[in-house]
Structure 1
Amino acid sequence: MVLLAAEGLPNAEIARRVGTTRQTVIGWRARYVTGGIDALSGPTPPTRSSPRPTVKRTQTRDTSASF
């Protein structure tokens, strides 16, 4: 990613080429800027996942007989 960025490619194009999101590219580029090449080894940066609302679904069954 960093090498593609050094070639002047935009984040969206880098993301498309390497199969990730633009936000991931931005994160790795920021990591490189703040810590240099050494910052690219080690644990991956945390990702921000979209919170998904938890919906409790209940199924009711009508047990009354209608004749």
Structure 2
Amino acid sequence: MANTIFLGATLRLKYIVGHDEHNEPKFSTKTYQNLNGSHSNVDLLNVAKAMASLSSQPLDSVVKQETTDLS
């Protein structure tokens, strides 16, 4: 069985900032690094929604990317 060691996580908030000439959405991404492993996904989503509520741009998606060491 493989051992997993949490190394870090990144949270990305993707906002819709407008539309191009073909009415396709244009996006902007804000990245928050150095998250620790003690936060639940629900907690991170609640924080992301709270941060997005401070923006004038609508939130499109929230992505959490984890890095682990497999040994």
Specify if TM > 0.5: no
Q: Whose RCO is larger (CA < 8 A, sep 6+)?
A: 2
Structure possessing the higher radius of gyration over alpha carbons: 1
Taking structure 1 as the reference length, the TM-score comes to: 0.26
- Which of the two has greater strand per residue? 2
Q: TM-score, normalised by structure 2?
A: 0.25
